[in-house]
Every structure is written in structure tokens, then in C-alpha cells.
Amino acid sequence: MLLEVESVWGGYGSKDVVRGVSCGAEAGEILCLVGPNGCGKTTLFRLMLGILPIRQGHIRIDGREVSGLSPKELSGLIAYIPQYHNPVYAYTALDVVVMGRAARFSAFDTPREDDREAAFAAMEKLNVLSLANEKYTALSGGQRQMVLIARAICQSARIFVLDEPAANLDYANQQRLMEALRDLAKKGYCVVMSTHSPEHPASIGNKALLMREGQVAAFGTPAQVITSAHLEAVYGIPIDVVTVQDSRGVKRTICLPVGGGK
Amino acid sequence: MELRVREAAARRRRYFRLVLLALALVLLGSALFSFWVGYYPLTPDQVVKAFLSRFGWEGELPDQAVTIFWKIRLPRILSALFIGASLSVAGATYQGMFRNPLVSPDILGVSSGASLGAALAILRGSPNWLIQVSAFVGGVAAVAFSYLVSRKSVHSQILSLVLTGSMVMALCNAGVTMIKYVSDPNDVLQQITFWLMGSLTKADMDSFRWSVIPMAVGLAVILLLRWRLNLLTLDEEEARTLGINVRGYRILFIAASTLLSAAAVCLGGLIGWVGLMIPHMARALVGVDYSRLIPASAMLGAAYLVLMDDLARSVLSMELPLGVVTSVMGAPFFIYLILKRKER
């Protein structure tokens, strides 16, 4: 398995926010983390990225322990795509993407032609090459996210971690982002994302992890995890999970909170 | 389409290279011009001849010109160039590291520490070289103290540094005020006030020769690692996931910037606004990428300070303190910056 999380405990200082979580994902899969605020999704990401120390348990990427890897080695395996990204200075999108190559050249060097070519190629892959010379600070939220995904590709990481990527996007851009993530998975990348919408795992996820208070409430395929009983147990409100067919004949899953409307 | 984007990026890079070249010419021009400014103007050909005279060349040049070149103009111009470059590069570095374009090189207390060091030495009646050493040590110690205290803080490293820096600044300034208060107003107080004012009148070849070492080391470190500063303008965790040791680089850049500012203060006293203002001008010329911003800031800062010093020594019959000139030029620029920043 590409990403393996095995009964992991960890958090800030002496307080464990993530308590005994196990999950995993293969290359080409999308793993969605769902759960209420403060359930430990972001903390689990930080543990995967090697930002927080793992107090107990194991996280392995491609069989290698995350805790034993340097930031430089980790950057070639797993990439982080932040949500709120407001740089102080007006870099061009190209400058931002090239930063993904930071671990590949010596500290005394500046990016060379092959680094820029890798950045162009990554942007081409995502159909955002036309943004290369634009100021990053002038781009829309959706465009920024695509640029950051290009940076992750440039990093040559195989796992992409996205913290609530849809949160700041309008409706159409959310759909475009989901399309892009699906494409990445098809190309063999492993996508790990957190989301507030339990419908996301059903629509694009191969796997879903439902969390509550730092622990696993359910883990498996979206169909196994996103059920009325599980969601009700985690969110504390009655929720219906219904399957419908859209106008193109595709089966879709919709979650509906019930009983609170009147 | 693909080719057009790549071509546009390449054109941008070529354009910035030309701007850097132009800056180098401006720098050379301002340095030569500065030999000409003063009671005894030296023309560019006299400058070359005076320079060669040291290496055995003999030509028709008055002895006076040779003496003025080596004893007066050269140390002063070199000092102005290096102080200008040092303050600007330190400012650009801190503006990146602290992720704030309104930060100046003083933020960790280097100038206040150096002032306290100098004031103490003057109070004890030390010779000039000891005053300079004491100022240098004071500046470095103040930053080291800010850094060490910030490591114990529970806040983010950047916020902690800003907080401890302002605390150290306040302490050092209180110390300087206390020394001024107890010192003899007819002698020591006057000397302290003059020292702190910021001026190159006392810059001679001896003091330049030793302060150029820390400045050269600081400039070399930052120039070599300049592209990495781009990564420090990102969120700390984000930069880490790109594979770099954020805190390690921060220590390096703080150490190098401190060498620059402390040596600059030793040589020229308190010269404000240069480190804040020049990086902004450089950004307007070559963009925000640190691989161009650092060399541009260095050249622009050197040219700017040497020209301001020309102004200081020629505008009135008596010499103006350089620190006053840069403040008069810098403060309005700062206001302009605050008003303009909204537009972006």
C-alpha cells in the first residue's frame, strides 16, 4: 500500500488529538476524510506530512516510516496543498510552481532551465499553462489551487494532501477541482483530502474515513462509510442518505439532514 | 500557445537581466560622480590616475589629488557603498523572512544594541576603535538575546521574534537614555549624540578595513542563498513540506543580516530608512523574486547612499548628518508606500 496509517496517536504537546487512527490508500485512489470540526482531520494531515511528531503507531509511505525521513526526502513522497494561501509578495504563478523544485537543487543555486521546464510541463498537465506569467496574487481561488497542484506535481510527490480544498470555491469551481482531482488519481497519484461535505466521498472518493473526536468512526469504501447510521452517530443529527439517478443516468448519492427543517 | 507562454517568460527574464546590468552602470556612475563632488573635485581620469599611482604608475597629477583620493574620498565612498548595500540587503532579507514589506533591519534590536554599546564605550572614555568594537558587539548581542528569548516562547517563531525584538529595543534605548542622562553635557553627551546621528565624517580607511569583513561575509552568505529566501516568505509548515529546513535557514539569515547591520552602524552610526525603502524600489524594478531582488537591492542601496552622502557634504557649506538626509528622503517615501499599497 502506498499510504499506510497504523493505529496512530499524536497531537500538540502532551495532548493527543488523533487517537489510534488506522487507514490507508493505494496509488490511483482518492481518500476522503469526513468529520465535524475538531475531529482531528488536519492533525492527521500534519502527522502524515511529518510536521507533528507521531507519538505512537506508524505512518508509512511506500513502506518507509515517515518519522524516519528528512523533510527533503518527505517532500519527494508527499505534497501539501494548503487552503488559505495568501502570499505577501506578488510572485508569478511560474515562480510559485518552481518552488516545488526547491529540494532538488543545491541551496546555493537558483532554478535552471530544466526546473522551469518541469514547472511548465506540470502546468500544461493541468491546463493552466496560460497562467504561468500572471501574478499569483491576482488569481482566483480556483486558479491558485490549480497552481499549487502543479507545484505538488513539480515536487514529484506521489501523494497529494489537500485540506478542505473545496471550502473557498464557488459551485462551478468546486466541480472543476473535483474533476481535476479525479484526473490526478487516474494518472496514478494518490489524493488525500478532507471535506465538510459527506457527498464528496460518494462522488469522487474510492475510500472514505469518517472521524469523530480523534478516532475512526468508520473506514472503507464510500458506500460502506457514508450511511445514515454512521453520519447520525458522528454529527448528532438525523441524516438521510439517498441514491438517485441524474439526468444522464448516473447513480448519485445525496445526504439530507432531516427533521430539522420545521 | 505553449510556446508563447514560454517565450514570454524568457523575455521577462531577459528584461530583468538588462535592468540588473543598468543598475550596475548606475552604481559605477554614482561612485565616479562622488569622487568629483566636494571642495576639490576629482575628474574620472584623475580618479584612474590616482588609483594607478599606488601601483607605481607615474603621471602628471598633483600630490594633493592623490592624497585626497586615497585619504578622503576613497574611504568615504567605499564606506557609503558598503553601508548602503548592507542595510538594503539586510532589509530585503528581513522583509522576506518576517513576511512583511514594512519591516526594517532594526527589527531585532541591532541598532539599539549597537547604540548602547557605543554609548557605554564613549562614557568610559574609550578610543575610537574600541567604541566601534563595542557597538558591533552590542548589536550582535542584542539580536542574539532576542533570538534566544524567542525560542522559549509558545507563539510562532516569527511573532516571538518581533515581540522579543521590540522588548530588547526598548531596554537598549532606556540604557542609552540613562547614559546620556548621567553623562557630562559638555563633552560625553555631545560625543554620544554625534556618534548616534549617522554620519560618514569619521569613516577612514582603518575603520573601513575591519568593518568590511563582516559586511562582505554577510553579503556573500545572503547572495549565495538568495533564492531560498523565496521559500521563507511562505507559511512555515508549507515551506517545510517543500523539503527545506525553515528554522535552520532563519538562523543563517538572521546571523548574516546582523553582521551587515551591526557593521554598518559601527562605521556610519544610525542611518535610517535605507533598509526599508530600497528593497521596495528594487521590487518595482526587478520584481519580487529574491534571486534578482538581492543583487538589485545591493546595487541600488549602494548607489543611493553614496549619492545621499554627496548631498550631505555638498548642499550646505557645513556638512549635514547623513542620517538626517536619509530620514528626510525616507519618511515621505514611507507615507507614499502606505497610501499606495492598497492598490495592488
What is the predicted pLDDT for the residue at B34? 96
pLDDT band of residue B39 (cuts 50, 70, 90) is confident
Sheet holding A15-25, edge to edge: A15-25, A3-12, A56-61, A64-65
Chain A, 29 to 58: residues with Cβ < 8 Å from chain B are 46, 49-51
What is the predicted pLDDT for the residue at B264? 95
A4 HSE (CA, 13 A, CB side): 12
Close Cβ partners of B287 (under 8 Å, ≥ 6 residues apart): A90, A92, B16, B293
What is the predicted pLDDT for the residue at A154? 95
Q: Which residues in chain A are closer than 8 Å to B5, comparing Cβ atoms?
A: 120, 129-130, 132-133
Cα distance between residue A27 and residue A190, in whole Å: 5
| Closest CB from A49, A103, A120 relative to B6 | A120
Chain B interface mutation, best of A75, A84, A88, A145, highest count of B Cβ atoms under 10 Å: A88
- For B97: left if phi > 0, alpha if psi spans -120 to 50, otherwise beta; the answer is alpha
* Nearest by Cα to B62 from B78, B43, B75, B76: B43
What is the predicted pLDDT for the residue at B130? 94
A85 has pLDDT over 90:
no
- B136: distance to nearest CA of chain A, Å? 28
Chain A, 81 to 100: residues with Cβ < 8 Å from chain B are 82, 85, 87-92, 94-95, 99-100
Q: Do A79 and B241 touch (CB under 8 A)?
A: yes
Per-residue pLDDT reduced to its tens digit, A96-120: 999 999 999 999 999 999 999 999 9
Nearest CA in chain A to B230: A99
Strand, coil or helix: what is A205?
coil
A229 has pLDDT over 70:
yes
Q: Do B243 and A111 touch (CB under 8 A)?
A: no
Beta bridge partner(s), residue A11: A16
Nearest CA in chain A to B9: A133
pLDDT band of residue B343 (cuts 50, 70, 90) is very low
- Cβ atoms A27, A2 nearer than 8 A: yes
Cα distance between residue B344 and residue B333, in whole Å: 17
B342 has pLDDT over 80:
no
What is the predicted pLDDT for the residue at A15? 87
| Closest CB from A51, A110, A155 relative to B227 | A110
Task: Name which residue leads in pLDDT, A140 or A86.
Answer: A140
B199 has pLDDT over 90:
no
CA dist B61 to A148, A161, B45, B47, B67, Å? 64, 72, 10, 10, 11
A218 has pLDDT over 50:
yes
Chain B interface mutation, best of A73, A106, A110, highest count of B Cβ atoms under 10 Å: A110
What is the mean pLDDT of the segment spanning B27-36?
96
Chain A, 139 to 158: residues with Cβ < 8 Å from chain B are 155
What is the mean pLDDT of the segment spanning B321-344?
80
Task: Quickly list DSSP for B163-220.
Answer: HHHHHHHHHHHHHHHHHHHHS-TTTHHHHHHHHHH--STT--HHHHHHHHHHHHHHHH
A34 has pLDDT over 60:
yes
What is the predicted pLDDT for the residue at A260? 60
What is the mean pLDDT of the segment spanning A235-245?
92
pLDDT band of residue B1 (cuts 50, 70, 90) is low
What is the mean pLDDT of the segment spanning B209-233?
97
| Closest CB from A88, A100, A133 relative to B8 | A133
Nearest CA in chain B to A89: B288
B341 has pLDDT over 90:
no
**Architecture of domain B74-343 in this structure:** Orthogonal Bundle (1.10)
pLDDT band of residue B2 (cuts 50, 70, 90) is low
Per-residue pLDDT reduced to its tens digit, B153-172: 888 889 999 999 999 999 99
Q: Do A100 and B244 touch (CB under 8 A)?
A: no
Cα A220 versus chain centre, distance: 17
What is the predicted pLDDT for the residue at A144? 93
What is the predicted pLDDT for the residue at A183? 94
Percent of chain A with pLDDT over 70: 98
| Closest CB from A79, A124, A133 relative to B12 | A133
Interface ipTM = 0.91
Q: Helix H segments across chain A?
A: 41-48, 71-75, 93-98, 113-125, 141-154, 171-186, 199-204, 222-225, 228-235
- Cβ atoms A128, A93 nearer than 8 A: yes
Grid cell digits, residue A228: 445514515
- Cβ atoms A213, A205 nearer than 8 A: no
Per-residue pLDDT reduced to its tens digit, B104-146: 999 999 999 999 999 999 999 999 899 999 999 999 999 999 9
Q: Do B244 and A72 touch (CB under 8 A)?
A: yes
Cα distance between residue A160 and residue A77, in whole Å: 9
A261 has pLDDT over 70:
no
Cα distance between residue A215 and residue B333, in whole Å: 55
The pTM for the full model equals 0.93
Task: Name which residue leads in pLDDT, B335 or B166.
Answer: B166
Task: Name which residue leads in pLDDT, B162 or B1.
Answer: B162
What is the predicted pLDDT for the residue at B36? 93
Grid cell digits, residue B124: 568610559
Q: Which residues in chain B are closer than 8 Å to A50, comparing Cβ atoms?
A: 240
Q: Where are the domains of chain B?
A: 74-343
B152 has pLDDT over 80:
yes
Strand, coil or helix: what is B109?
coil
Tally of helices (H runs) and strands (E runs) in chain B: 15, 0
Percent of chain B with pLDDT over 70: 98
- B241: distance to nearest CA of chain A, Å? 6
When the pLDDT of each residue in chain B is averaged and rounded to a whole number, the result is 92
Sign of CA dihedral B271, B161, A45, A69: positive
* Nearest by Cα to B97 from B229, B187, B218: B229
- Cβ atoms A198, A231 nearer than 8 A: yes
| Closest CB from A73, A99, A108 relative to B231 | A99
Task: Name which residue leads in pLDDT, B65 or B337.
Answer: B65
What is the mean pLDDT of the segment spanning A61-90?
91
